[in-house]
């Protein structure tokens, strides 16, 4: 049986990694900024605002939703996306803890 290498790391480590992956593309950052600015958004509006095709925007939305950073509600033929506030705060805390855990070294290469 093949074991997923990610399972060898702590759950918290995998969560931070998932958030980082979701944040690793400039289009996803642009989408998040748009959602924050508008406080809710319909997918078509996102496509109108960014220089990307509908299918590309959909793929990026899928990655952000997979990480839990956004949520979407289906309303007829449209999907309304917004920031998932609970997961957003959790991601913020975990990433902040990672950066705060670093203690400046007095000597390094």
Could you read off the pLDDT of 44-69 as tens digits, one per residue?
A: 788 889 999 989 998 999 999 999 99
Compute the mean pLDDT over every residue in the chain, rounded to the nearest whole number.
Answer: 87
Residue ranges of domains in the chain: 11-95
Say yes or no to pLDDT of 106 above 90.
no
Entry pTM? 0.83
d(CA 108, CA 37): 41
33 and 13 Cβ atoms separated by less than 8 Å: no
Structure tokens at 95: 């990433």
d(CA 83, CA 69): 6
Supply the pLDDT for residue 105: 67
Comparing 2-11, 27-36, 47-56, 100-109, the range with the smallest average pLDDT is: 2-11
63 and 26 Cβ atoms separated by less than 8 Å: no
- Can you name the CATH fold of 11-95? Arc Repressor Mutant, subunit A (1.10.10)
69 and 88 Cβ atoms separated by less than 8 Å: yes
């Amino acid at each position: 049986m093949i074991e997923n290498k990610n399972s060898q790391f702590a759950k918290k480590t995998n969560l931070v990694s998932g958030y980082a992956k979701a944040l690793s593309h400039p289009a996803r950052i642009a989408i998040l900024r748009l959602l924050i600015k508008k406080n809710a958004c319909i997918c078509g509006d996102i496509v109108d605002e960014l220089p990307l095709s509908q299918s590309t925007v959909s793929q990026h939305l899928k990655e952000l939703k997979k990480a839990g950073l956004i949520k979407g509600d289906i309303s007829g033929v449209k999907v309304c996306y917004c920031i998932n506030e609970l997961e957003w705060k959790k991601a913020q805390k975990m990433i902040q803890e990672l950066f705060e855990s670093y203690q400046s070294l007095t000597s390094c290469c």
